[in-house]
């Protein structure tokens, strides 16, 4: 399946998806570095406390972003997550059922 018309999921090439996700990750990392520099220079806080706080904030932001891209919308009569535009293999955030075995 080398041609785009034969791909079952996306018309985008895998290199385009890879570079889009890599650049997006780099932009988000740059934002966190700026946040770290501003926070450390303006707030007098213990580095250990700041590190723990930064990890919790990062976890909350990650869960929030995944929840946003998991929102479903109807496209051509099919329900798709918003994250499908970024990565066609993304199939929403799901909670496992009680009997998943």
pLDDT at residue 26 greater than cutoff 90: yes
Give a yes or no: residue 70 inside a domain: yes
Residue 101 in domain = no
| Cβ–Cβ under 8 Å, residues 86 and 69 | yes
Q: Is residue 54 part of a domain?
A: yes
Q: What's the rounded Cα separation, in Å, for the pair 99 and 52? A: 35
Phi, psi of 58 (to 5 degrees): -60, -40
Q: What is the largest CA-CA distance in the chain?
A: 57
Domain annotation covers residue 93: no
Residue 45 lies in a domain: yes
Q: How many domains does the chain have?
A: 1
The answer, as to whether pTM is greater than 0.85, is no
Confidence of residue 95 (pLDDT cuts 50, 70, 90): confident
Is residue 1 domain-resident? Answer: no
Do 88 and 9 touch, CB atoms closer than 8 A?
Answer: yes
Provide the pLDDT confidence category of residue 30 given band limits of 50, 70 and 90: very high
> Range of 26's domain?
11-85
pLDDT at 1 over 70: no
Phi, psi angles (nearest 5°) of residue 59: -60, -45
> pLDDT value at position 2?
52
**Residue 100 in domain:** no
Tokens at 82, concatenated: 């918003």
Residue 10, number of CB atoms within 10 A of its CB: 15
The reply to whether 43 falls in a domain is yes
Assess whether pLDDT exceeds 80 at residue 42. yes
- For residue 69, the Cα-to-chain-centroid distance in whole angstroms is 7
Residue 20 in contact with residue 86, Cβ under 8 Å? Answer: yes
């Amino acid at each position: 399946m080398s041609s785009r018309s034969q791909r079952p999921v996306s018309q985008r090439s895998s290199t385009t998806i890879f570079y889009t996700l890599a650049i997006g990750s780099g932009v988000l990392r740059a934002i966190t570095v700026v946040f770290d520099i501003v926070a450390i220079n303006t707030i007098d806080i213990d580095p250990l406390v700041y590190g723990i706080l930064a990890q919790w904030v990062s976890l909350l932001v990650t869960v929030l972003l995944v929840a946003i891209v998991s929102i479903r919308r109807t496209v051509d009569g099919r329900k798709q997550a918003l994250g499908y535009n970024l990565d066609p293999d993304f199939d929403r955030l799901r909670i496992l059922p009680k009997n998943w075995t």
